[in-house]
Structure 1
Amino acid sequence: MTTWITICETCKRDDWAERGMTQSDGELLAEAIEASVAQDSAIRTRRVACTMGCERACNVIIQGAGKIGYSLGKFDGTPEDGAAIAQYARLHLASETGQVPFRTWPQGVKGHFVSRHLPVPQAEGEENATA
């Protein structure tokens, strides 16, 4: 199995221009996450132009086939953010359902969850299933 981290590379925090940034905050976060998962062959990353969560920049989506996925936001784009997101992705990967017990969450992702996405139904009759 693979866990994917989708990263909005165009995210800019509200004070982006005032800080005189040459890269978007999303690009910085993407670099931090990519460095943190470089040795994890079962965790893949992809950069996208927008996840439509601009009011909570920086945003990522953690998901895997047949598993619950999660959107997270309001990161700063630091190496510490990248490491916390990578650690949560490892826990997501190890989970059969994608659910990760709160007590095991890295501190750096607590308070950043935006929404939960149930897996797409794979068979007739699963459309009303809940997790």
Structure 2
Amino acid sequence: MREKQGTMPCPCGGADYAACCGRFIERGETPRTAEELMRSRYSAFTLKDDAYLKSSWHPRTRPAEAVAQDEGIKWLGLDVRRHVPAGDEATVEFIARYKVGGRAHRLHEVSRFVREDGRWFYVDGSFPEK
């Protein structure tokens, strides 16, 4: 199934999955910024790629259970609001839209990332009030 994704738009909003998030998820390239990692993690959620999600999650905060198993979620789109790099730390604020049981929802998160040995990791996130 994934082979077909190479000529399709990227789930994160990029024009081509293979040239966008596919290079990280499928080919093992390393995201250069926290925003690239965040976008690839969103794409991995849409593809239910638990292995990629766990490998990009910092070991200190990584959950033991599967994180990409919700079969009832249909991801609709991603809007990155801001990316704030600060050396080896960064935050990325985003809104991910999805449907569950035909009802639309929004996930608004400010994610924290750290870079260790040249590699970015997701640490955790907070959820701003409306």
**Larger relative contact order (CA 8 Å, sep ≥ 6):** 1
**Structure 2 length normalisation: TM-score?**
0.33
Higher share in helix:
1
**Structure 1 length normalisation: TM-score?**
0.32
